Structure 1
């Protein structure tokens, strides 16, 4: 052990180890939960429109993935307007705050995009955001990817016809992968 390491007592070492583990988990979520999910699961095409639900760390990584893939419109959806300026640095071109509208955000997005977005990535874990992310994708080819994890008692409710309109719903089991670290 070097002299610097000897100065740490076991509690300091544990705290440092815990902080280091948290950084590893956050970085894993950043690459696999946001960026990786966007590039490898949602797979937006060049020129497509992508909605990102939640502009926290995972959502910003998802936005960066959409930018890298060549999406021409990246719409950030978040209830915290303070996140909008930071999101621009990751390619977000338009912002929607659900609190600013009298109708469901999926309807707002459908109107903004002539029928729906090509891809949506949900990064909040809110069941309402998950439903909105699924319902805002375009009929026939839209793909919604759920990264966030809902409460175990939440119920995903949507109109049954949404399933028959050609919309796809995918999930990313990030917690299983984090457990593999």
Structure 2
């Protein structure tokens, strides 16, 4: 069985004026990312929207020292970006929304339990940032024994060198399929 995790494709990470935007790189993957999501929903595969959630008053979170405030609860920046937002509105019952506080969609969440309940062994990853949240999710998936598939045309970063490094790392170190 296979599942799809769509990681952090929100206004703050993708929109031109987003707080921590990938900008044009993130916007360029919109078509591919939405198409992959549509395909998984149509085949009734398990689809997860793993979305970063931070609180403005949380001064202890380590990301606050590294990045500007982003994906704050109840703000437009945390809403899904573009066509993915429209698509999600039509399929909320078929897509599992997962709030996450850390880079990895596994860290501090019930993602592994949800996947194992469905006997999912192959995990497909799309979203942003290739070299941060997608990478950390892939490393945890690897350590938990999942087969990993990265959709190269549906991942992006604000750091082109980090993006290319992560794609090589997925394949050469995690044994992921990069398609």
Task: Give the TM-score band, short-chain normalised.
Answer: 0.3 to 0.5
Q: Per residue, is there more helix in 1 or in 2?
A: 1
Q: TM-score, normalised by structure 2?
A: 0.48
**Higher relative contact order structure (alpha carbons within 8 Å, sequence separation ≥ 6):** 2
TM-score by structure 1 length?
0.47
More strand by percentage:
2
Compare CA radii of gyration and give the structure with the larger one.
1
